[in-house]
Amino acid sequence: MALALAVTGVDAQTTPTGTTQAAANPVDPAAVQALKDMGAFLQTLTRFQVSTELTGERVLADGQKLQHTASARMYVERPNRIRAFIRGAQADREIIYDGRTVTLYTPAQKYYSMAEFTENIGGLIDKLESRLGVQLPLSDLFLFGTPAAPLDNIESAMNAGQSIVGGEVCDHYAFRQGKVDWQIWIATGDKPLPRKVAITSRMDEARPQSVALIDWNLQPTFKDTVFMFVPPKGAVKVDIVPPKTN
Taking only the tens place, the pLDDT of each residue in 42-52 is 999 999 999 99
At 204 the pLDDT is: 86
- Say yes or no to pLDDT of 6 above 60: no
Whole-prediction pTM: 0.86
Q: How confident is the model at residue 17 (pLDDT cuts 50, 70, 90)?
A: very low
Nearest CA-CA partner of 146 in 72, 44, 43, 76: 43
Which percentage of the chain shows pLDDT scores above 70?
Answer: 88
The residue that leads in pLDDT, 242 or 187, is 187
Burial of 136 by CB count in 10 Å (0-12 exposed, 13-18 middle, 19+ buried)?
Answer: buried
Neighbouring C-alpha atoms within 13 Å toward the C-beta of 126: 10
Closest CA to 81 of 122, 120, 135, 127: 120
Q: What average pLDDT score do residues 91-113 get? A: 94
Beta-carbon-side half-sphere exposure of residue 15 (alpha carbons within 13 Å):
7
Which pLDDT value is given to residue 104? 95
Q: Give the fold, CATH level 3, of 29-222.
A: outer membrane lipoprotein receptor (LolB), chain A (2.50.20)
pLDDT at 15 over 80: no
Looking at per-residue confidence, does 186 or 207 come out higher? 186
DSSP codes joined into one string, 23-38: TT--B-HHHHHHHHHH
**How confident is the model at residue 133, as a pLDDT?**
83
Q: Categorize the per-residue pLDDT at 206 as very low, low, confident or very high, splitting at 50, 70 and 90.
A: confident
For 128-186, the pLDDT digits (tens) are 888 888 889 999 989 999 988 889 899 999 999 999 999 999 999 999 999 999 999 99
pLDDT band, very low/low/confident/very high, at 244 (cuts 50, 70, 90): low
Q: pLDDT (tens digit, 9 = 90+) per residue, 22-43?
A: 455 699 999 999 999 999 999 9
